Amino acid sequence: MKALVLGAGIVGVTTAYELNRRGYAVTVIDREAEAASFTSYCNAGLFAPGHAYAWSSPAAPGILLRSLWRGDQALRFKPNADPRFWRWMWKFWGECTAERAALNTIRKLRLCNFSLSVFHETLARTKIAYDGRKGGLLYLYRSAAALDAAMAKSRILTDNGCRIERLDGAAIARRDPALAPVGSLFAGALYAPDDESGDCRMFAIGLRQFLEGQGVVFKFGTAITGLSTEAGRVSAVATSAGSETADVIVLCLGVYSPHLVRELGHDLPIYPVKGYAMTAPVTDAAAAPALGGVDEETLVAYAPFGKRLRVTSTAEFSGYDRSHGPGDFRTMLKTMRTLFPMAADWDRAEHCAGLRPMTPAGTPILGPSRLSNLWFNTGQGHMGWTMSHGAARLTAQLITGEAPAIPLDGMTAAT
Ligand SMILES: Cc1cc2nc3c(=O)[nH]c(=O)nc-3n(C[C@H](O)[C@H](O)[C@H](O)COP(=O)(O)OP(=O)(O)OC[C@H]3O[C@@H](n4cnc5c(N)ncnc54)[C@H](O)[C@@H]3O)c2cc1C
C-alpha cells in the first residue's frame, strides 16, 4: 500500500514514521528544502503536558480585547478583513466558557501524555540525537498571587494524571542552579517533573534520515498545488513536479492545511498564531539554564539545546505574515538578560518567526475526511512538538483500522 504524506513538518515526519512501521511505502512531499523548515523550525522545544491548558478560557476574550490598546508584547491582536479570521474568532469565543476550557484542557493533556510515551518509544528505537533534556520544566511566577492562582488552576492537570510540584525560591535554585542569583525575583514556581525539552527540528531531521534508511522517499522543493477527485476519493495530488497518486494521503500542512481542502467542502478551523524565536550560542554553560521553562510574568519560554539557548515569545494574530524586526525580540532579550545574564551571546543570535496552526479549541484535527483515501493530521497549534508523536500514532491507527489508543472526542473533522 502506498501512502503520501503532505508536509514535512514535525507532524508530517512523525506520521511518515508511524505509517512506515505499519508497512506502507511512504512518500513525503514538502516545498521546503529540508524537514521542519517552516513552523517546526524554531519552536521553544518544550515537551509540556504540564502546560496543556486550553488558550480559550473565560479570561481570554478580555485579554484579547485589552491587547488592542495595551501594545502588549506577549499577546498581539491585529484584526484584519479576512473572513476566515472572523469565523475562527467566533468559534474561539464559543470555546471560552469554563466548561469548554476544562474539557479542552483535559483532551489536550490526554493527547500530550500519550504523545510523551510514544516519543520515548520512538527514541528508544531510532536513537536520534536532538539535544534533549529530561528532568522537568519550571513555570516561574514573580508574585505570590499569581503563584497561588497558578497552583489552583493546575488542579485540572493534577486531577488528570500530570505531576506538578510547588517550589519556593530556594527549591527553584536547587532544581536549576543557574537561577540561584535571581531566586529572589520569584515568589515560586510550578515544577512539572515529567515535562522535557529538546530541539524539534534536529529531531525531525534525524527522523527524516532514519526513515530514508527505511526506504521512505522525501520529495523536497516540491509545492503541492491541488487535489483531483473521482468517485469519492483523491485521484491525484498535483505538485510542481507532476502528479502523485496513493492509496492513503495524509494532510499535514500546518497553517496551510485548510487551503488545500477548501474546494472539497472542508472548512478546517485552523488559523495562524504567530510567535517569535531566538537561538544564541551558550558562552558560559554554568550560567545557562539546566532546565527549560517559562517566565510566566513576561510569557517568555526558554530551553537549553546543548550548546545553544532557544527563547520564544508572543502569540500574535496577524495573518500569514512571517516578517520580524528587532522590536519583536525586546521582551525576550530583557527577560534573558535578567534571568541568565551571562549565559549566551545574544549578538550572535539567530532570529525567526513561526505560525502556530491553531484550532479554536486547541485540539488537533485527526482522522477521516469526506474523501475515502484522504486523512487529516493537523492543527496541533501551540503544542505541535509535544502532540506530534501521539497524533501520528493515532492517525496511523485510524488508517489501518486499529482501535485508537486514546479517545478522539473533539478531535475529528465534521464530514
Ligand atoms: C514561537 C513558537 C514556539 C512554540 N513552542 C512550542 C513548544 O515549546 N512546544 C510545542 O509542543 N510546540 C510549540 N510550538 C508549536 C509547534 O512548533 C507547531 O505546532 C508545530 O511545529 C506544527 O507542526 P506542523 O508539522 O503541523 O507544521 P509545519 O512545521 O508548519 O509543517 C507544515 C509543512 O507543510 C509544508 N507546506 C505547506 N504548504 C505546502 C504546499 N502547498 N506545498 C508543499 N509543502 C507545503 C511547509 O513547508 C511545512 O514544512 C511553537 C510554535 C511557535 C511558533
Task: Note the pLDDT tens digit of each residue in 29-82.
Answer: 999 999 999 999 999 999 999 999 999 999 998 888 888 777 666 888 888 889
- Average pLDDT rounded to a whole number, residues 248-269: 96
Closest residue to atom 52 of ligand 1, CA basis: 43
- Average pLDDT rounded to a whole number, residues 347-352: 96
pLDDT at 78: 81
Q: Among residues of the chain, what percentage have pLDDT more than 90?
A: 94
Distance (Å, whole) CA 337 – CA 341: 4
Q: Among residues of the chain, what percentage have pLDDT more than 70?
A: 99
CB atoms within 10 A of CB 22: 14
Residue 13 CA, closest ligand 1 atom number: 25
Distance (Å, whole) CA 228 – CA 249: 12
The phi-psi region of residue 270 (left if phi > 0; otherwise alpha if psi is between -120 and 50; otherwise beta) is beta
Straight-line distance from the first to the last Cα atom of the chain, in angstroms, rounded to the nearest whole number = 24
Buried b (16+ CB within 10 A) or exposed e, 184-198: eebbbbbbbebbbbb
* Sign of the torsion angle spanned by Cα atoms 303, 210, 389, 274: positive
| Grid cell digits, residue 167 | 517550589
| Grid cell digits, residue 235 | 485521484
- Average pLDDT rounded to a whole number, residues 8-20: 98
Longest dimension (CA), the chain: 67
Q: What is the pLDDT of residues 285-305, one digit of tens each?
A: 999 999 999 999 999 999 999
| DSSP type of residue 282 | B
Closest residue to atom 3 of ligand 1, CA basis: 43
Q: What is the pLDDT of residues 314-331, one digit of tens each?
A: 999 999 999 999 999 999
Distance (Å, whole) CA 252 – CA 407: 21
Please check whether residue 137 is in contact with residue 83, taking contact to mean a CB–CB distance below 8 angstroms. no
pLDDT at 278: 98
Q: Tell me the CA–centroid distance for residue 39 and ligand 1, in Å.
A: 3
List the beta bridge partners of residue 277: 312, 352
User: Where would I find the H helices in 95-223?
Assistant: 98-126, 144-153, 155-158, 169-175, 200-213
Q: What is the pLDDT of residues 194-251, one digit of tens each?
A: 999 999 999 999 999 999 999 999 999 999 999 999 999 999 999 999 999 999 999 9
Backbone dihedral angles phi then psi of residue 174, each to the nearest 5 degrees: -70, -40
Q: Supply the mean pLDDT for the chain.
A: 96
- Average pLDDT rounded to a whole number, residues 134-142: 98
Torsion of CA 9, 15, 21, 23, to 10 degrees: -110
Q: What is the pLDDT of residues 383-405, one digit of tens each?
A: 999 999 999 999 999 999 999 99
Cβ contacts of 326 within 8 Å, gap of 6 or more: none
Which of 29, 380, 387, 395 to probe ligand 1 with, by most ligand atoms within 8 A of CB?
380
pLDDT at 240: 98
- Average pLDDT rounded to a whole number, residues 100-111: 98
Distance (Å, whole) CA 52 – CA 134: 18
pLDDT over threshold 70, residue 415: no
The phi-psi region of residue 316 (left if phi > 0; otherwise alpha if psi is between -120 and 50; otherwise beta) is beta
pLDDT at 72: 67
Which of 6, 17, 39 to probe ligand 1 with, by most ligand atoms within 8 A of CB?
39
